[in-house]
């Protein structure tokens, strides 16, 4: 797990957007997993800027969104279909046929969920999954006590999530109670994961996810089991991390692994040292 702490939300978002850009530059037909909510807003803004100003190309990209509220039509202003259209899709050159978002209005959820899982596999699996984190430690809508092996399904939202998300609706009573969401197991199959979190209200959940035990009570903690996860935080969200000095230290020191050149130089040095030691031994044998 790589923990990258930036001083501001904007810097954090730009850094995370760069990971998306690198993915697309090395694999133009990459499959992206996308999140909604306030956290990735600035990341999406940066992707739109990169598309407009630097030609970042989405023409071959496929996307799968994490979740959708049950009961909201795709044109409902609080639906995640609407969110994605407004904040990303209508600003970039992605093909509408390559966009997948769970349906909040299907008449057969079980069949839909099975199809969504199948479609991800048929498209080659998710190369890069973007995640936010709930204040109860959820990823997607995998609320506390969700199985860490769970797949796409309907979940009942936790009270705290309903309260947190009430800010987007006119009244708390308007927040849907159910959501269709990728499971923790689905998410863990992504090849690379980038989680973004900002603000003091996420500091507890972030600390538990990174430094606490792996537990279904904080589903983001399951990311500890993933081999290529990067966590991008602003200073406030990193506020409760016990090892914060260590993460800052790693960041200041640069890449953890020496480059091939380093290895070669070390090897040559070791061989040279061995040769010198051997010569010294021979010399002392000859002179005694």
Catalytic residues: 67, 136, 138, 143
Sequential DSSP letters for 15-50: HHHHHHHHHHHH-TT-EEEE--SSTTHHHHHHHHHH
List the interface residues with ligand F6R, window 253-272 (CB under 6 A): none
Q: For ligand F6R, what does the binding mask look like between residues 51 and 80, x meaning CB under 6 A?
A: ---------------xx-------------
Is the CB of residue 80 less than 8 Å from the CB of residue 68?
yes
**Which residue from 33, 102, 104, 134 is in contact with ligand F6R, where contact means CB under 6 A?**
134
Q: Which residue is nearest to ligand F6R (CB)?
A: 132
CA distances to 2, 10, 254 from 137, rounded to whole Å, are 18, 22, 29
**How far apart are CB 222 and ligand F6R at their closest, in Å?**
13
Say how many residues touch ligand F6R, by CB under 6 A: 13
DSSP 156: E
How far from the centroid of its chain's Cα atoms is residue 276's Cα?
50
Q: Is 211 helix (H, G, I), strand (E, B) or coil?
A: helix
Distance CA 280, CA 288 (A): 12
- Closer CB to ligand F6R, 37 or 176, in the complex: 37
Of 45 and 57, which has the nearer Cβ to ligand F6R? 45
Considering only residues 25 to 44 of the shown chain, the ones binding ligand F6R according to CB under 6 A are: 35-39
Supply the minimum distance, in Å, between the C-beta of residue 165 and ligand F6R: 7
Alpha carbon distances (Å) from 135 to 39, 139, 170: 12, 10, 21
Of the residues 104, 132, 176, 183, which one makes contact with ligand F6R according to CB under 6 A:
132
Counting every residue, how long is the chain?
A: 288
Q: Rule CB under 6 A: which residues touch ligand F6R?
A: 35-39, 66-67, 132-134, 138-140
């Amino acid at each position: 797990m790589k923990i990258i702490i930036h001083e501001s939300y904007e810097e954090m978002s730009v850094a995370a957007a760069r990971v998306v850009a690198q993915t697309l530059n090395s694999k133009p037909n990459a499959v992206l997993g996308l999140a909604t909510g306030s956290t990735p807003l600035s990341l999406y803004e940066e992707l739109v800027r990169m598309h407009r100003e630097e030609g970042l190309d989405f023409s071959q990209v496929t996307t799968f969104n994490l979740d959708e509220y049950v009961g909201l039509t795709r044109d409902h202003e609080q639906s995640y279909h609407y969110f994605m259209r407004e904040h990303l899709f209508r600003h970039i050159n992605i093909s509408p046929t390559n966009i997948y978002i769970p349906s909040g209005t299907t008449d057969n959820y079980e069949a839909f969920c099975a199809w969504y899982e199948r479609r991800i596999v048929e498209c080659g699996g998710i190369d890069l999954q973007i995640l936010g984190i709930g204040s109860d430690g959820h990823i997607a809508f995998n609320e506390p006590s969700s199985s860490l092996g769970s797949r796409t399904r309907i979940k009942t939202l936790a009270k705290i999530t309903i309260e947190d998300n009430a800010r987007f609706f006119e009244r708390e009573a308007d927040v849907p109670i159910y959501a269709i969401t990728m499971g923790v197991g689905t998410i863990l199959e992504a090849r690379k994961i980038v989680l973004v979190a900002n603000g003091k209200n996420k500091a507890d959940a972030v600390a538990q996810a990174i430094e606490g035990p792996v537990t279904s009570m904080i589903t983001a903690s399951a990311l500890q089991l993933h081999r290529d996860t990067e966590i991008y935080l602003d200073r406030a969200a990193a506020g409760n991390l016990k090892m914060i000095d260590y993460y800052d230290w790693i960041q200041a020191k640069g890449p953890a692994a020496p480059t091939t050149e380093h290895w070669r130089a070390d090897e040559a040095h070791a061989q040279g040292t061995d040769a010198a030691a051997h010569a010294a031994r021979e010399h002392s044998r000859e002179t005694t």
